[in-house]
Structure 1
Amino acid sequence: MASAVQAIAVASVGSIISASRVAAAPELNVQSGLRTNGVRFSLRAVPFFGSTSSSRSARKQNLYTVYAEAQKTETLSPTALQGEGGKGDGESPASKASDRKVSIADVPKSEFEGKTVFIRADLNVPLNKEREITDDTRIRASVPTIEYLLAAGAKVVLASHLGRPKSGPEEKFSLKPVSVRLADLLKKEVKFAPDCIGPEVEALIGGLKNGEILLLENVRFYKEEEKNDLEFSKKLAKNIDYFVNDAFGTAHRAHSSTAGIADFVTKRFAGFLLQKELDYLAGAVQKPARPFVAIVGGSKVSSKITVIESLLDKSDKVILGGGMVFTFFKSQGYSVGSSLVEDDKLDLAVRLSALAKEKGVELILPEDILAADKFDPEANTQVSANTSIPDGWMGLDIGPKAIEQFKKALEGAKTVLWNGPMGVFEFEKFAAGTFAVAEEIAKLTGEGAITIIGGGDSVAAVEKAGLADKMSHVSTGGGASLELLEGKVLPGVAVLDDVEIVA
């Protein structure tokens, strides 16, 4: 850790002290809220001068001694870890990990009474031309955390982005419709701020009573948000006591409202939704009940390289489907017709196949393919062996033998992770493979398996199949899910306080 602290110290202190140009300056609190290896620390600089000639030389050179001071890690006992409803540490799949984050359920509910709590939620919902919400799933997913904190007597300040505004405030990206829908769901008034920072917003926050909620306007109306600008982060934190991140879908972004604000508040917690994502995607996948079967689909192997590599370290079987299989087929010398192939990734496919064999993991490719004469919902189709797709035909789904093959491979699985469809399920003719896999996974859930749908198109597929509620967990994050499965550290998670479990 020392070298990491040193590197940060050099960069941070160098810029700040050189800017001050005060040789005889008093002690400087250079920077707080820094992290490395999971440890939060602050930097303190003390002028290096005294009465000796060497010290006078040091004074002339504007030298300082820098101290890195670790902040106290909050320690919770197993009793304190008993959450709302009596769910203790032993019932949370990820809770035994040494880097488990403090969730709002890990501390007494009274902790939040009278505190002003900034919740970063993912309220980025689709709107039609009349600015009506067409799918409120993300709003409903945020309600449990909001209700819990309101009931605890917190003063809740809610923040989110919506869409991709390019040049400041735009009415079509306003969160005003969200405040109306949220009020319906909470069955109470949701105050709406015309901005997310500034004196008017500070006054609205200061005027909140216990159990009241204020929704801020779109944080992405400011370019500083996505730049994780220090001053913007400070403004968001004005009058805020605690930070709660419940926006898993943006946790892989180091933005002011997902990460930067954490350095300027007293405590930092995971909300219920974020904690559930971590429990399943980081917990159940890292320490799975076995057999553990991973299913990876999608169009390109290049977008899933790291995920496949990571899963080969953890899984008993990895099933591959979707367009990526044709790169594997071609790497084995098979005829793939005009199917999608990444020719520059053929060596990679060979390497991944060899890696699976080396690790003793069964890598399963579909035995047959449903091919089409063009990429069209009304295309002519034929079933082809995986070794010989005719010229001019392209694979758009797995075939009937492959469906049975994949079902057999899933038999007896205790943990299943699925990320990526088996074919172009948006076209009815090519949805059978994806829906068959969804049905089999739903069946396994009923048999007691832990089943995880890892975000993106897989979520759309299980929802289209009407099976989302039959899965153990359907992730709310696309890119965040992938990065977590790849083993990457998510900025919006890293900034949260760590739990140290005391026996």
Structure 2
Amino acid sequence: MLKTSVTRRVGGAVASCRVVAGQRVCRAASRQQATARCGAARSHQARALSSGASLALGSRRSLTRFQQRQVSLARRGAKLIVEAAKRSVGDLGEAELKGKRVFVRADLNVPLDGEQNITDDTRIRAAVPTLKYLMDKGAKVLLTSHLGRPKDGPEDKFRLNPVVPRLSELLGKEVGKVDDCVGAEVTAKVDSMADGDIVVLENVRFYKEETKNESGFAEKLAANADLYVNDAFGTAHRAHASTEGVTKFLSPSVSGFLLQKELDYLDGAVSDPKKPFCAIVGGSKVSSKIGVIESLMAKCDKIIIGGGMIFTFYVAKGLSVGSSLVEEDKVELAKELMAKAEEKGVEFLLPSDVVLADNFAPDANTQTVTIDSIPDGWMGLDIGPESLKAFQGALSDCKTVVWNGPMGVFEFDAFAAGTVGIADTLAELSGKGCCTIIGGGDSVAAVEKAGVAEKMSHISTGGGASLELLEGKVLPGVAALDETVAVSA
């Protein structure tokens, strides 16, 4: 990706600035001035979220994890060195918001069971700070999202109806609902809204024009609004009508608190991490994590590799892996990655033992062997206990850790020990001041399963978006937002 570097003076000291993912990031010249730590958000956000008057949040116990961290930062007087080039909803006060119709794109793509019950409301809760801020400022909030993968127009199982009661509960206010996201029905509902009201519009992906980013559809989405807030980090890597197209018709177009928070953590911590910095990369395939491994290799001191992708590396080392998953066309790449790590002086850690299964099933027969003793007909589904100990030792002195991808098939209890063990270790490190960032996808499910999600520094709400940001790619949903002129430090 293109990175633009400049030099400027911040508070009398020279700072370097560059553009990342459509954001301008400035860094102070000295560690003493670089006092913002993992999770620091923009100062005006911290002030807004720490103000009981502006957010009517009540007691600290009722706050979200994000809000609690922001309150703590504000009370400690934490200074800011990460300055986004994009405007945030926190830049807008009551004068700009009262009575205005605000189109908010959130990521409410929550998992549902067979009876349409929400099984994990993390994404809904993550949207609350931005929504509550807008409502408390007197805005009329038009909220939409996608849900699932509808193919041919409206389908009841993909409607946003299940989101409404949970959102009403979290906001402490009745949330309206319209069974469309454009057209006369939306207009009529919006015309009847009072200041501070919120209404959920229907799944934007009921229209194929959404993912095609058709200008005409984007204009229809924007027709009932005065300004735009993008708080959907999970879709910020896609140029869709509701994430990129609407910005051409609504001004201002700004980021929400969640989107800004994700950028602060994922870019802020990784671009200038407190050392030692370790990246844990897991998952089934090397091909899906090439960009992350290569990008993080330029910044980290250690890389831990787990999951099914380890067997491609083993084959690259000339080992037999039985019937384990191997990407034959990526063997040479695996060799190159290991050579590159050695050249850069990065500690590249692979498991020394693995837990095997005689078939891919939760009740499969198992055995644990060293990596050079994998018999034919057996497949590796988790890292072994000795590997876990070695990884825990490597992590023990780390000050920043980014984790993306599980160590094994943690969905099966028999093969979850490695993943849960890493989760427990990171939770312990978090309590000792290490910045622990869970980079979306299965890693989030893993820390939830381990029961330690609350202890992590940051859990990303975006799988693909997290990966692309960690790879250093431009996120269209971020790049399309308005730039800010003011500079804070």
| Alignment of structure 1 residues 379-394 onto 2, 5 Å | 379-394=364-379
Q: Distance in 1 between matches of 2:373 and 2:211?
A: 48
Distance in 2 between residues matched to 1:427 and 1:219, nearest whole Å? 35
Residue 365 (structure 1) aligned to one of 329, 350, 354 = 350
Q: How does 1:122-271 map to 2 (within 5 A)?
A: 122-271=107-256
After superposition, give the CA deviation of every residue in 1:34-77 in whole Å (9 maximum; x if it has no partner): xx9969xxxxxxxxxxxxxxxxxxxxxxxxxxxxxxxxxxxxxx
Match of 2:65 in 1: none
Distance in 1 separating the partners of 2:126 and 2:103:
17
Alpha-carbon spacing, 1:174–1:351, altered in 2? closer, same or farther (3 Å): same
Q: Deviations over 1:101-122 (max 9, x none)?
A: 2222234454322221111011
**Partner SS for 2:162:** helix
| Structure 1 pair 160–82 and aligned structure 2 pair: CA distance change class (3 A) | closer
Residue equivalent to 1:483: 468
Q: d(CA) in 2 for partners of 1:480 and 1:451?
A: 18
TM-score by length of 2: 0.83
**1:65-464 alignment runs, 5 A limit:** 83-84=47-48, 85=50, 91=78, 96=82, 99-464=84-449
Instruction: Check whether the contact 1:183–1:189 (CA below 8 A) recurs between aligned residues.
Output: yes
Amino acid paired to 2:354 = I
Change (3 A) 1:234 1:201: same
Tell me by how many angstroms 1:91 deviates.
Answer: 4.5
Cα distance change on mapping 1:289 and 1:110 into 2, 3 Å: farther
Supply the AA of the counterpart residue of 1:338: S
The amino acid that maps onto 2:453 is A
Sequence identity (%): 61
Mean Cα displacement is larger for which, 196-205 or 298-307?
196-205
Instruction: For residue 92 of structure 1, report the CA deviation from its aligned partner.
Output: 7.7
TM-score of the superposed pair, with normalisation by structure 1:
0.81
Q: Secondary structure at the match of 1:326?
A: helix
Q: Is the 8 A contact 1:150 1:210 kept in 2?
A: yes
The 4+ residue runs of structure 1 with deviation greater than 6 A are 78-82, 86-90
| C-alpha contact (below 8 Å) 1:82/1:106 kept by paired residues | no
Structure number with bigger Rg = 1
Compared CA separation, residues 130 and 394, structure 1 to 2 (3 A): closer
Gaps of 5+ in 2: 1-19, 24-41, 52-69
For residues 461-476 of structure 1, the aligned pairs below 5 Å read: 461-476=446-461
Residue 79 (structure 1) shift: 8.2
Q: Distance in 2 between matches of 1:80 and 1:338?
A: 54
Does the C-alpha gap of structure 1 residues 210 and 431 become closer, same or farther in structure 2, counting only changes over 3 Å?
same
Q: Which structure 1 residue ranges, 5 or more long, are not aligned?
A: 1-35, 40-77
Structure 1 pair 262–475 and aligned structure 2 pair: CA distance change class (3 A): same
* C-alpha distance 37-137 of structure 1, shift in aligned 2 (>3 A): closer
Deviates more, 1:83-92 or 1:320-329: 83-92
AA aligned to 1:344 is D
| Residue 271 of structure 1, CA deviation | 1.1
Structure 2 letter corresponding to 1:201: V
Say what the alpha-carbon RMSD is for the aligned residues.
2.3
Structure 2 CA distance for partners of 1:463 and 1:267, relative to 1, 3 Å: same
Counterpart of 2:237 in structure 1: which amino acid? H
Please report how far the alpha carbon of residue 283 of structure 1 lies from its aligned counterpart in structure 2 after TM superposition.
1.2
1:322 deviation in Å?
A: 0.9
Offset at residue 338 of structure 1 (A): 1.8
Shift of 1:82: 6.7
Q: Distance in 1 between the 2:195 and 2:166 partners? A: 22
Measure how far apart 1:124 and its partner are: 1.6
SS state at 1:417 partner: strand
1:207-258 CA-partner distances (Å, limit 9, x unpaired): 3221111211111111111111101101111131211111111111111111
Q: Matched residue of 1:195: which SS?
A: coil
- CA–CA distance in structure 1, aligned partners of residues 339 and 415 of structure 2: 30
Alignment partner, residue 5 of structure 1: none
Q: Distance in 2 between matches of 1:397 and 1:128?
A: 27
Distance 1:391 1:353 in 2: 26
**Equivalent residues of 1:118, 1:242 under 8 A apart:** yes
Q: C-alpha distance in 2, partners of 1:410/1:37? A: 29
Q: Equivalents in 1 of 2:21, 2:240: separation in Å?
A: 20
User: Structure 1: which amino acid aligns with 2:224?
Assistant: N
Matched pairs, number: 428
User: 2:293, 2:371 → 1: CA distance?
Assistant: 21
SS of the residue 1:403 aligns to: helix
User: How far off its partner does 1:157 sit?
Assistant: 0.8
Deviations 1:332-354 (A, max 9, x none): 11222221111111110010011
Alignment partners' CA distance in 1, 2:233 and 2:153: 25
Deviation at 1:381, TM superposition (A): 2.1
Q: 1:345 to 1:281 in 2, by over 3 A?
A: same
Give the conservation status (yes or no) of the 8 Å contact 1:92–1:279: no
